[in-house]
Amino acid sequence: MEATESEHFDVLVVGAGLSGIAAGYHIQHKCSTKSFAILEGRDSIGGTWDLFRYPGVRSDSDMFTLGYSFKPWIEPKAIADGPRILNYIRQTAAENGIDKKIRFRHRVKRASWSRRDGRWTVEAERRSSEGAPDIVRFTCNFLFMCSGYYKYEEGYTPEFAGIKDFSGLIVHPQKWPDNFDYAGKRVVVIGSGATAVTLVPEMAKTAGHVTMLQRSPTYVVSRPAQDPLANKLRRNLPASLAYHLIRWRNVLLGMYFFQLSRRKPERVKALILSGVRLALGPDYDVAKHFTPRYNPWDQRLCLVPDGDLFKAIREKRASVVTSEIDTFTKHGIRLKDGSELEADIIVTATGLVLQVAGGVEMAVDGRAIDFATKLNYKGMMYSDVPNLASALGYTNASWTLKCDLTCEYVCRLINYMDRHGYRQCVPHNDDPTIKALPSLDFTSGYVQRAIAKLPKQGSRRPWRLYQNYALDIVSLRFGRVDDGVMQYS
């Protein structure tokens, strides 16, 4: 298929979700560059928050830290549902004219950097309402990937024995059907992560009964959906001031809790489990169903607003079963202990498929980039790959905290290049004492399945990922862009 004639932009942003709209704002307000566009493969703004439509979909971070630094969150609920977050993202795009920069139905497939020309050539499939997609080509000086870290086309589902024997309906949350009626049905949700603990209490409101089937437990923490102090401050202070005060309070509390989990895991474990016992009562088997084999923050904690999961369990509308699956049967799932869970619907909340740079095929001077061999520079760029950045969030805090800082840094970098007449910037490691380490130290299944394909982090700055907002502010907002590692030409 022949590509159409190319358009040129100073910056191309890939993805119009939470990160892509942040990138558009920062480029528009803080960057010396003259032109940019956002390429979005889907039909609408929102990314994750437009893709996921399962019941109860919500954030597992408070909106004072998940929200943008430049747009205060003014809704009463701190733990917000998906539609409200989606509205917030779209409102931000419209208020700043970023929505006018988006090319919808443009799915980026390939990108190639030419050192001779000092630019990226990007090819995308453009879908129209009729007929097969055509290939369109763009060129840009800088390519900014804001397409997230997981595959939108499909989630992860293990190969369960006997899955074709089941006579009911099997649904993955990433592909939730429209107008799906589960009222009065027996539902089994396979999984124990953020999606499962969101789905179970929400579906339990109308389903006959919902069972959360987990191979092993996850740490679950209850938190009020509304923040009384935040709402009080908003009534008495300007919106922006109140927002930033609460934002910093939540950032510091989150950092303190994470560090405490690392230094005194048994103390944090006891604190979390005492909260679960208080919510479920003395007769509930917390040791079996809510006590993981790992320490807190070896995997991400699960947040339940207002203890909704625990309430559904207390009221017998939901239950938890901790066991391994032997096989699917005609009427449900048989477990390794010989018991069987009957079900009309099975929801496989079994995780995501991670990918680097949106799965785009990338090359430098005709040579394919193998990201698994690259070091991650400041959590956003890749060793020996010119003029390319990715907006990725924290694993131990809100996604947007790091994305905002990344967008600011990319603008600083482009401004520096413009001032000095540089066309190319490339992070390069010539220090043999830098050791390559796994980029993430999470034991979660979705991370471990993909870890071999992910870029590595280095043993020291600027190749080390500290997952620390305060350190990143110092490094990304105030640190030098000519640090001796980034090479300009």
User: Which domains does the chain carry?
Assistant: 7-150+355-488 (3.50.50.60), 163-348 (3.50.50.60)
Q: pLDDT at residue 134 above 70?
A: yes
Measured CA to CA, the distance from residue 49 to residue 88 in angstroms comes to: 10
Q: What is the mean pLDDT of residues 34-49?
A: 93
- Would residue 83 be called left, alpha or beta, if left means φ above 0 and alpha means ψ between -120 and 50 degrees? alpha
Q: pLDDT at residue 452 above 90?
A: no
Radius of gyration from C-alpha coordinates of the chain: 23
Q: Which residues contact 356 (CB under 8 A, 6 or more apart)?
A: 149, 371, 390, 453, 454, 455
Measured CA to CA, the distance from residue 218 to residue 318 in angstroms comes to: 17
- The predicted model scores a pTM of 0.92
- Structure tokens of 338? 């010989």
Q: What is the mean pLDDT of residues 475-482?
A: 91
Among the ranges given (164-178, 251-265, 369-383, 439-453), the one the predictor scored with the smallest mean pLDDT: 439-453
The secondary structure of the chain in percent helix, strand, coil, rounded to multiples of 5, reads 35, 25, 45
Helices within 206-319 (DSSP H only): 228-236, 239-263, 265-280, 286-289, 308-314
pLDDT at 67: 94
The phi and psi torsions of 339 (rounded to 5 degrees) equal -75, 165
Measured CA to CA, the distance from residue 46 to residue 399 in angstroms comes to: 14
Q: What is the mean pLDDT of residues 153-177?
A: 91
